[in-house]
A and B are shown apart, each in its own frame.
Chain A
C-alpha cells in the first residue's frame, strides 16, 4: 500500500494527492516530510488522523524550507542523518509567494534536502485566489474575468530559474500526468547531495473547473501544448527535455477548463489566446521541445 494512506479528505481527482503519493512511492520509508500550510497539509491530517506513513511535520505557511533545514541540521548533529531524505512538499503559494525568502535561505545554505513544489496555480485551500504561479488570463476569485477584465493579468513566475540561480545541483519540472517521469526525477533529486528542487504541475479539478475524472488528461494537455515544459537542469545547465511530438494548439488545453472559458466567448481570433500561444512557442524555442 502507498505510504500516503487512503481515506484522506482530498477532492475526487485531486492532483496534489497524486503528487504526495508519487513522492512517497519514489522515496520509500526513510524520508521525513515537511508540509507548509495548504491543501495537502489540511486534507491529510485532520487530528487525530494522519494519512502519512512517514514522519511528517507541518509548522506554518511560509517556513517549510527553514523547518526542513533545521531537521537536516538536527539529524547531522545527532548523528542520525545516514541515508534519511528530507523533503518539503509545498503548494505554489507557499513556494513562489509567502515562503520564497525561507527557500532562498535554505538553498543558499546548501542543506541536503529536496523541495518539491506541487503547483496547482492558485491558492486552492482558501478558495481559488491567484498566486504568483497563476497563468496569464486564468480566472480566479481574486483575478476574476469580468466586463473589463480577462482574468489574471500577470505571467507565471519562473520558480525553477530562481532556484537554479541559487546554484542548486538539480532542478527539474515534472507533471503528475507523467508518473514514471516524476518519480524518477524526485528520486534523482533526493539522491543528489545538496538542496534540489522539483516543480510538479498538478491540475486541480475544483480550482480549474474540469471534471475530476480528467486530471491526468488535463495534465497531459499542458505538456503536449508546451505550456508546461518538462526538463532537468544540473548545475544550471539544461541536461534533458521531454520532446513533444505533434504539438497541440493551446486552445485544446484552455477549452477544457472553466477558468479559461471567458476566452472563448468572443467572435473571431482572440488576442488573449494568441498571447498564451506565444508563451508555448517561446517554451518550444527556449527548451528545444520539438
Chain B
C-alpha cells in the first residue's frame, strides 16, 4: 500500500477526492483556509480533467444558493467553506436540508469573528449543529479525503436525502503535507453509484419545490428530517464498512475507539486533536495509566447509543471541545455527552475542557495536564467544565 502514497497538501487530497466523485456543479468563493480546495478544483477544471460546471459566485450565500438550484435540478453538487462563510450560509443551510437536497460540502474548520482570527477551532460547524446537515469530523488528511465519497453515498441515499458536511481542521489538516493515497477513479466508480434522484426540476414532469407549509403540515417536514437522520445513523456504519471493503481503509463509522475497552479514563474528542491524544495515550499506557480514546466521528446524527455502549466501563470521561457555548461555559461535545448519559444508570463524571480556540496549539503536555486535572475527581474535586489552556496573564 505504501508504494501508492504521495505527499500532497491536505486541500489537494480533498480536491482530488471531489474530482473522482464527479460532481456536476461546483460553486466557489474564496475564504481562508478553505481556498486551496477550490483553487485545486479550478485547476482540474481548467486542465479539462473535470466534466462539470465551475461557478465563481459573489458570496458564500450565493455559493450554497446556486447548489440548492443545481441539486434540485438533479446535479451532484459540491462547495467548500469555513467560518464567516459558513455563518453567512446559515439561512440556506436550513433551507437546503428542509428541501432534502443532498449537497456535500467540506467545512475547513476555523474560528469565528470577533476578534477576527483565521486559525482553527470548530465553532463554525458546531454553530450549524441544528440546521439539519449531517456532520462528520475527520482525524487526518486521508480520512478527510475518504469522507468525501462516503458522504455523497450517504447524502444521496434515497432514505436519507440530507445535505452533509465533511469537517476538517483548518491549517492543521488543510495545509499540512502528509503522505496519502489519492482516491482511485476506478475504486470510486465502484463504490459510489451515479446520482439519479427521483424528484427533480424537469419540464417533462413538473414538480413544485419549497412550498409554503402552515401549522397543519410543517411539523411532519421536520419529523421526516429527523427520521432520515435516524436512517443515516445506520448507514454511516454500513458505508464505512463498504468503503473498507473496496479501498481497505476504515476510521470507524459513527465513533471509533483506541485502547478503549479496558480504559478507566476515556477522552472524547473530534477532529485532528485525535492524533495528539493517541500519541499521549501511548506514552501514558507505557507508564501504566489506564487511559483510552473515544473518537466521535459523527456529530450529526449524534450516536447516542454507540456512545452509551462505549462508555459502559469508564470511570472518568473527559470531553475536549474546540468550541464554546458562551453563557454555558462548556463546549457542545460536553453538553451532548452528558445529556445522552443522563437517562441511563451510568453516572460516570463527565468533565469538559475547552481548548485550542482560535488556533492555539494543543501539545501532548496539555492532554496530560487535562488528564491529571480530571483525576482530581477521585479526590472529590469536580471540575464541571473549564478552559484548559487559558493564558493567565491575559485572562
Contact = CB atoms under 8 A, between A and B. Distances in A.
A17 to B, nearest CB: 15
A89 to B, nearest CB: 14
A2 to B, nearest CB: 14
B203 A30 contact: yes
Interface string B286-310: 0000000000000000000000000
A74 interface: yes
Given A78-B74, A101-B58, A101-B59, A31 B66 contact: no
Interface string B55-67: 1111101100111
B69 A57 contact: yes
Contacts of A180: none
A240 to B, nearest CB: 30
Contact of A57 (B52, B53, B67, B201): B201
A254 interface: no
B41 to A, nearest CB: 14
Given A70-B73, A73-B70, A77-B75, A60 B217 contact: no
B361 interface: no
B69 A70 contact: yes
Contacts of B56: 109
Nearest to A108: B58
Contacts of A59: 65, 68-69, 92, 95, 99, 210
Interface in B140-155: none
B73 A74 contact: yes
Interface string A58-83: 11101100111111111111101000
Contact of A67 (B68, B91, B203, B214): B68
B1 interface: no
Interface string B148-175: 0000000000000000000000000000
B201 A32 contact: yes
Interface residues of A, number: 45
Contacts, number: 158
Interface in A1-58: 29-32, 34, 41-42, 45-48, 50, 52-58
A54 B206 contact: yes
A102 interface: yes
Contacts of A47: 211-214, 217
A63 B55 CA distance: 15
Interface string A243-282: 0000000000000000000000000000000000000000
A84 B202 CA distance: 9
A60 B65 contact: yes
Interface in B236-275: none
Contacts of B73: 32, 70-71, 74-75, 78, 80
Contacts of A72: 69
B207 interface: yes
B68 A46 contact: no
Contacts of A288: none
Interface string A140-182: 0000000000000000000000000000000000000000000
Contacts of B95: 59-60
16 contacts: A29-B203, A29-B206, A55-B203, A55-B207, A56-B208, A58-B209, A59-B92, A63-B68, A66-B66, A67-B69, A70-B27, A73-B53, A74-B73, A102-B61, A102-B65, A109-B57
The 10 closest A-B pairs by CB, nearest first: A70-B69, A105-B58, A70-B66, A66-B65, A63-B65, A67-B69, A74-B75, A58-B210, A74-B73, A50-B208
Interface of A: 29-32, 34, 41-42, 45-48, 50, 52-60, 62-63, 66-78, 80, 84, 101-102, 104-106, 108-109
Given A56-B209, A80-B73, 11 more contacts: A50-B211, A56-B206, A57-B69, A58-B211, A59-B99, A63-B92, A74-B24, A78-B24, A101-B58, A105-B57, A109-B55
